[in-house]
Amino acid sequence: MISLSNLKKFKTEGRKFSCLTCYDSSMAKAMEVAQVDTILIGDSVGMTMQGHDSTLPVTVADMAYHTACVRRANQHALIIADLPFMSYATPSDAIKNAREVMQAGAQMVKIEGGAWLADTVRTLTQNGVPVCMHLGLTPQSVHVFGGYKVQARTRETADQLIADCKALVEAGTAVLLLECVPEQVGREVAELFPHIPVIGIGAGRYTDAQVLVVQDMLGLTQGKVAKFVRNFMTDQSGSNAILDAFRAYHQAVIAGTFPSPEHTFQIEL
């Protein structure tokens, strides 16, 4: 079973690792066979499985249910579970709701935000809950951003994001996740913290790991697809096509062939 210690070792050895979202036991079992390193039970379930137009309606009970489904079928990957919208507004809320998803099978929780959550990170860590901090484009704040837009595109905003990362790491953050930021920012953050694994989604080629929403990488998303997505089903066929797509994704991340330049954003100097 992959642990946080493994992820840190991967980073120090320069070995990239893979992550995919997952919400059910059948996909979780296929990811186990494909040896995907980490699984994120994302509040993206609200959009991919529940039919909502954002992640905001997702509840802690939803997250605990899907976490339990995944954990029953997968004993290989490190399991990260999102704490959904407004479920960590205070440190006491975070403790209560982290307990629910951890008892359901998560080994780490993910929360969205910046330096203002340092006390929450500290409280969770002190109570035995490893924290993955999600920065950049944070979908729970979509109404603040005015839509799903690339973040940290200027030097000033990039420096602010890096300052937030520093404060959160000092508070005890175990893993950083960067979404929709320029490749240069992803590289700077990954290099700045030699012992903190950095997962990217639309954050370029130089983060320590990559994550994609499983429906996106299987080509199941209808309408506009994000620039950072690659469809790994296009070269697969037969009854094991999904499993082969998971294997292809895992190997592409480890080999560093995904993402490629066309999947990245650049900083505006």
Task: Confirm whether 55 is domain-assigned.
Answer: yes
> At 106, which CATH number?
3.20.20.60
Please give the structure tokens belonging to residue 148: 């799903």
Q: What pLDDT does 118 receive?
A: 98
Task: Confirm whether 144 is domain-assigned.
Answer: yes
199 pLDDT more than 90: yes
Domain total of the chain: 1
How far lies 184's CA from each of 11, 201, 230, 257, in Å? 18, 14, 20, 17
Task: Confirm whether 119 is domain-assigned.
Answer: yes
- Whether 179 is catalytic is yes
How far lies 48's CA from each of 58, 152, 204, 233, in Å? 11, 26, 24, 18
Active-site residue (options: 13, 112, 156, 179): 179
Please give the structure tokens belonging to residue 264: 């990245």
Task: Confirm whether 269 is domain-assigned.
Answer: no
48 pLDDT more than 80: yes
Q: pLDDT for 239-249, tens place per residue?
A: 899 999 999 99
Task: Confirm whether 236 is domain-assigned.
Answer: yes
Q: What pLDDT does 109 receive?
A: 98
Domain containing residue 193: 4-263
153 pLDDT more than 70: yes
Q: pLDDT for 61-116, tens place per residue?
A: 999 999 999 999 999 999 999 999 999 999 999 999 999 999 999 999 999 999 99
Burial 7-32 (b: 16+ CB within 10 A, else e): bbebbeeeebbbbbbbbebebbbbbb
Task: Confirm whether 268 is domain-assigned.
Answer: no
Task: Confirm whether 40 is domain-assigned.
Answer: yes
